[in-house]
């Protein structure tokens, strides 16, 4: 996060600077072969690529027509200087399989009277039925969710340094993949 100060009236605008790497088009999907029209781009190549894994991030974007695209063309920030608003998509950090105490902030069991397992989920089922209730918060996969922010204003685009200044905060850790699209 940073700030941009307007010299005329002194207003301060909070912005987040996002580094946009140049992506290369790896594959073109056509209506005849694949049943839809799309462009597949890559980002972040591996240092030691194998036969099957060459890129860390491959993403597919649907387009109206393939007239403007060719395989191995680069899509960098100079093509998007005219955009005023962006839609931002990212994936939150996954924490793996976790218990109910970490995942749902449930209370732990009391530490007295000989119990060994203070972080267990306690009683979650009725003794009459054999099924769990739908609303019971149990252990499971924690986070790793896809989240989208819509219509974020672009303050300025620096095509030479591949930097976009977006008004407000952009969630996610430094160096994580963030997908920017026209709003």
Q: List the chain pLDDT tens, one digit each, 183 residues.
A: 889 998 889 899 999 999 888 888 999 999 999 999 999 998 777 888 888 888 888 889 998 989 988 999 888 887 777 889 999 998 887 788 988 888 888 888 878 877 778 877 666 655 666 676 777 788 888 878 888 999 999 998 888 888 999 999 888 777 788 888 887
- Residue 64, Ramachandran bin (φ over 0: left; ψ between -120 and 50: alpha; else beta): alpha
Contact 45, 58 (CB under 8 A): no
Nearest Cα to Cα of residue 147 among 105, 104, 173, 179: 179
Strands 146-158 and 85-91: antiparallel
Contact 140, 121 (CB under 8 A): no
**Model pTM greater than 0.85?**
no
The residue extents of the domains of the chain are 2-95+147-182, 96-142
């Amino acid at each position: 996060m940073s700030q941009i100060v307007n010299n005329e009236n002194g207003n301060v605008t909070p912005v987040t600077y996002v580094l946009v790497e140049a992506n290369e088009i790896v594959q073109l999907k056509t209506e005849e072969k694949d049943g839809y029209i799309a462009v597949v781009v890559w980002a972040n190549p591996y240092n030691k690529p194998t036969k099957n894994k060459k890129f860390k991030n491959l993403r597919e974007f649907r387009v109206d027509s393939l007239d403007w695209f060719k395989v191995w063309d680069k899509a960098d920030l100079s093509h998007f200087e005219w955009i005023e608003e962006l839609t931002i998509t990212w994936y939150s950090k996954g924490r793996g399989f976790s218990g109910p105490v970490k995942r749902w902030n449930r209370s732990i069991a009391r530490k007295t009277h000989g119990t060994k397992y203070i972080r267990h989920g306690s009683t979650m089922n009725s003794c009459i039925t054999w099924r769990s209730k739908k609303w019971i918060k149990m252990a499971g996969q924690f986070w790793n969710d896809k989240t989208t922010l819509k219509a974020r204003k672009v303050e300025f685009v620096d095509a030479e340094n591949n930097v976009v200044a977006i008004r407000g905060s952009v969630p996610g850790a430094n160096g994580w993949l963030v997908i920017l699209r026209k709003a």
